[in-house]
Amino acid sequence: MRAGRARLVHVETPARDARDLMLHVLGIDAAALIATDGDALTAEQMSRYDAAIARRAAHEPVSKIVGLRAFHGLDFIVTGDVLDPRADSETLVDAALELAPDARTVLDLGTGSGCLLLTLLHRLPFATGLGVDASQAALAIARQNAERLHLDEKARFIRSDWLEKVDGTFDLVVCNPPYIGERERHTLSDDVLLWDPQAALFADEDGLAAYRRIAPTLGKALSETGTAFFEIGSGQEEAVSRLFSVCGFGDITFRRDIAGIRRCMIVRR
């Protein structure tokens, strides 16, 4: 593993990544690894480990090499067609579970891997939900995740340009739209730029394009007493909340992520 680590010195977390790739190749957990002698690798395991390290050294995220990413205690299939679920987005799930524990209907706009919708449906036993994405390829992954988590009877997925094809009203709306401005492109690492879909990241020059599209139509999908949870980028709170308040949403609050950034905007009528 030391050799693997040495080949990853240019990535952010070389020791952890080398270890996680070893666990993946051996098909064991961290506790079992402590008891394993690194020399005991078979030639086939060694060559798979080498290949995995080479992919990581070329900036492919560990989750995409392994094919799974943990989010809020569940594992999600991830490929190049979906955004890698981020720990920051768990702020939305925590806020939704706390503030809308009785929700029966959930809408997830820009569902990607389905991580927000499926985590909520897993935790809200009486709820059913709809996941929406513009990407057919992302929807295929979300459907696979629903099946894998035995939530396929509770979750439906449709292709729609935001709310265009959404019918009915929902008690709970979650949305993590693309919110990075094109002008910030140069600030992103290769791990993100080369491996997350561009449509999941960028929203015009200022990053606000998706909120501008969603705000005027949210009213038709949110039930009278419903609550919507939007992920926002660092420093976007004023601009995004203005877009929703001019559309008649009078109750707008925020939740901070673990780094202390206002990451989740909570919208009610």
Ligand X SMILES: C[S@@+](CC[C@H](N)C(=O)[O-])C[C@H]1O[C@@H](n2cnc3c(N)ncnc32)[C@H](O)[C@@H]1O
Say which residue the tokens 């059913």 belong to. Answer: 128
Q: Select the span of 27-35, 57-65, 176-184, 243-251 touching ligand X (CB under 6 A).
A: 176-184
The binder of ligand X chosen from 8, 83, 149, 173 (CB under 6 A)? 83
Q: With beta carbons less than 8 A apart as the criterion, state whether 151 and 118 touch.
A: yes
| Euclidean distance between CA atoms 241 and 239, whole angstroms | 6
Number of residues that bind ligand X (CB under 6 A): 21
> Which residue from 63, 135, 145, 236 is in contact with ligand X, where contact means CB under 6 A?
135
Whole-angstrom distance, CA of residue 131 vs CA of residue 150: 16
Among the residue ranges 2-10, 29-37, 38-46, 171-179, the one whose residues contact ligand X (CB under 6 A): 171-179
Q: Mark residues 210-229: x for contact with ligand X by CB under 6 A, - for none.
A: --------------------
Q: Among 4, 14, 177, 181, which residue interacts with ligand X (rule: CB under 6 A)?
A: 177
Please tell me whether residue 161 binds ligand X under the rule CB under 6 A: yes
- If binding is defined by CB under 6 A, does position 193 make contact with ligand X? no
Query: CB-side exposure of 99: number of CA atoms within 13 Å?
Result: 23
Specify which residues 128 forms β-bridges with. Answer: 105
Question: Least distance from C-beta 108 to ligand X, angstroms?
Answer: 6
Residues 6+ apart with CB under 8 A from 213: 162
- In the complex, the smallest distance separating the C-beta of residue 27 from ligand X, rounded to whole angstroms, is 26
Q: Is 73 left (phi over 0), alpha (psi -120 to 50) or beta?
A: left
Q: What is the DSSP letter of 168?
A: S
Interface residues with ligand X (CB under 6 A) are 83, 85, 89, 110-113, 115-116, 132-135, 138, 161-162, 176-178, 199-200
